[in-house]
Amino acid sequence: MHVYEDIEDLSYSRGPDVPLLELTIGDLLDRTASRFSDRLAVVSRHQSQRMTWAELSENADRVARGLWSLGIGRGDRVGLWSTNCIEWVMLHMGCARAGAALVNVNPAYRSHELQYTLTRSRMKALFLWHRDKRADYAEILDRARHGLTLDLEHTIFFDSPEWPALLDTDGRLPDSVAPSDVANIQYTSGTTGHPKGVMLTHHNVVNNGQFLARGFHYTEQDKVVVPVPLFHCYGCVIGTMSVLNSGAALILPNWTFDAHATLQAVHDERATSVYGVPAMYVAEFGLPEFSSFDFTSLRTGMMSGAPCPVELMKRVLNEMHVRELVIAYGQTETSPVVTMSDAGDSLDIRVNTVGRAMPQTEIQVISTTDGARLPVGMQGEICVRGYAVMKGYDGDPEGTAQVVKPDGWLHTGDLGVMRSDGCIHITGRSRDVIIRGGENIYPREVEEFLYTHPRVGEVQVVGIPNERLGEIVVAWIRLRPGLEATESEIREWCQGQIAYYKIPEHIRFVDEFPATLSGKIQKYKIREFEIEARGLQSVSRTATA
C-alpha cells in the first residue's frame, strides 16, 4: 500500500514521490525484451497470432526501418486507422522506435471526420485495412482526400503486399529519440466543437504505464485481456503501456468488442486481468452462457472509461472472481490516468471512489464560481498537475490555454468530492448538471440509486428542456435479461428514497444506448432523441442567461 501525504482541511492531495522513468517507449521495449525475451508479449486471438517480447522488439525495429525507407523519421506523423490487431501493436512500437508520432484514427470515422483528421494532423503516412464488415476504408479514404492537398504521401494497406514489403526493407534506426518527444496524438471525442489532437509524450505514457502496472501489481506472470479499442487511451496506454512496464502479456480477444470473445479469451488463456467500460461488463453478464466460463484465473482488472455504477462493480468482484478490481479516473489530456485505487485497497475505496492521486500527481477540487480550493467533502471541479498533463492540443495554443493554466493546473471539467483520506468520488461533468426549477441534479447520483432496483441492468439519466421548470429528468433503462418492469414501478421505488425533484418524470425502456466505438455512452444523443420524440424543439431553443 502507498503512503500519501496527510490530507488537511482543503481538497488537495499529492501522490507518492516514486522516481519517474527517463525512457522512451523504444527504450522501455528494449529493457522488457532483454528481461523477458521468451515470454509471451501479445496474443491476437482473432488472427491466431502470438509474439514473444523478443519478437515484438524485432518487429518494432522492422517497422522503424520501413518508415525510414519512406522518408519518415523523428517528429513526423504516422496515422493508424484500424480496429484491434497485432499490426496495431507493431506499428505503435515501431513508430516509437522511429521517433514518429502515432496519430490514432477512430475506426468509426467516415469521410468528413477522416478529412478533418488528415488535414489537422499533417500525417505523412496512413496505415489501414482495405475493408471489414463495418466499413470500406479504402473507399472512405478516397472520398475524404478528394480535391484536397494533403501532407499524406504514403498509404499502406495491411492486407496488401505493401505491408510485408515495408517490414523487409533495409532502412536504419534513428540516432536519437527523446522522452520529451511527442509519441502519440489522440483525437478527443469532440463533445464540444471539433475534436482536438491531444499530444502525449513518451515521458507521459511511459510513466503512466509504470504507475498503472504498480497499481495492478503486475508481473511477467500476468495475462491481460484487453477488449477496449487500441485507438483509445484505455487500450494504448492502460493496456499496452502497463504490460510494457511489467512484462505481462497483452491479449486481444477480437477486432472490436465482443462479449463472448472476451470471456472466451479469459477462459482459454487463463487470464489474470480483464479490462472494460461499464457497458462491456453489462453485455458480458447478459450472455446466456455466462456461467459456463471459468473465471477462477482472474485476480485483477479495471472498470473505467465512463462512470462506474457501484452495483455493477460488486457483480464483477463477486461473479467474475475479480477480487482486486480497481477503478481509475482521468482523461486523454492526462495520459490518461491520474487517480486509481490500488489492488490491495479496501472494498469501500474500490467501489465508492476512483482512488487517490497517482504517484507524482497533484489533485485539487476547486469552486466552479471563483476557483478557490474547496474544503474536503465539498463538490467542485477536479484539477490535475504533474508529469501526466499533455504537451498541449496540436496546433491549438488557445485551446490549450483554456484548460491548462499558467500555474500548470489542468482543469478537467469533471465534478467531484475529495474525501478526508484523499480519495476522489466523481459526481459528474460540470456541463451535465440538470437544473430543475432551480434545483441542481447530478445525473450520476440518480443513476446510482436506480441501479439498486433489482430489475435494472443499466441506466442513463439526462435532462430535457421543460417550459415551466427549465429542465426535467429522463431515465433510459435497460432491464436485466428476461425481466420486466413498468414506469410506475420504477417511480414507486424512488418515492421516499430520493428527493421528489430527482425522480425521473419520463422513463424509457431500451435494449441499447447510443455509444462511441470505445464504449462511452453518448448522452447528448439520448437528449436529442427525447427532444425530437416529445416535440420539444422550440422549447430547446429558448434562450437562457
- Which pairs count as long-range contacts for 480-489, CB under 8 Å and 24+ apart, including other chains? 480/286, 480/454, 480/455, 480/456, 481/286, 481/288, 481/457, 483/455, 484/455, 485/453, 485/455, 485/456, 485/509
Clarify whether residues 463 and 317 are in a common domain. Answer: no
In a domain, 192, yes or no: yes
Clarify whether residues 355 and 495 are in a common domain. Answer: no
Q: What's the CA gap between 69 and 522, in Å, rounded?
A: 42
In a domain, 363, yes or no: yes
In a domain, 428, yes or no: no
Backbone angles phi, psi at 47, to 5 degrees: -105, 0
- Which pairs count as long-range contacts for 3-8, CB under 8 Å and 24+ apart, including other chains? 4/356, 4/357, 4/422, 7/376, 7/418, 7/420, 7/421, 7/422
**Residue 1 pLDDT level (bands cut at 50, 70, 90):** very low
Q: What's the CA gap between 235 and 300, in Å, rounded?
A: 16
DSSP string, 348-364: HHHHHS--EEPTTEEEE
Q: Is residue 4's pLDDT more than 80?
A: no
In a domain, 423, yes or no: no
Clarify whether residues 384 and 507 are in a common domain. Answer: no
Q: What's the CA gap between 249 and 272, in Å, rounded?
A: 10
Clarify whether residues 413 and 438 are in a common domain. Answer: no
List pLDDT tens digits, range 45-93.
999 999 999 999 999 999 999 999 999 999 999 999 999 999 999 999 9
In a domain, 260, yes or no: yes
The boundaries of the domain holding residue 439 are 433-540
**What is the pTM assigned to this prediction?**
0.83
Cell of 460: 442513463
Clarify whether residues 466 and 360 are in a common domain. Answer: no
Any idea what the CATH number is for the domain that residue 494 is in? 3.30.300.30
* Size (the chain), residues: 545
In a domain, 287, yes or no: yes
Contact 470, 435 (CB under 8 A): yes
Average pLDDT estimate for 360-364: 98
Clarify whether residues 313 and 239 are in a common domain. Answer: yes
Clarify whether residues 362 and 455 are in a common domain. Answer: no
Question: Residue 288, preceding bond cis, omega within 30 degrees?
Answer: no
**Residue where one domain finishes, among candidates 418, 441, 457:** 418
**Residue where one domain finishes, among candidates 390, 418, 446:** 418
SS3 state at 448: helix
Percent of the chain with pLDDT over 90: 74
In a domain, 424, yes or no: no
**Residue 493 pLDDT level (bands cut at 50, 70, 90):** very high
Contact 231, 105 (CB under 8 A): yes
Clarify whether residues 316 and 248 are in a common domain. Answer: yes
Any idea what the CATH number is for the domain that residue 21 is in? 3.40.50.12780
Please give the DSSP secondary-structure letter assigned to residue 236. Answer: I
In a domain, 4, yes or no: no
Clarify whether residues 384 and 497 are in a common domain. Answer: no
Q: What's the CA gap between 335 and 208, in Å, rounded?
A: 7
Number of domains in the chain: 2
Clarify whether residues 441 and 473 are in a common domain. Answer: yes
Which value, to the nearest 10 degrees, does the dihedral of the CA atoms of residues 252, 341, 400, 541 take?
A: 90
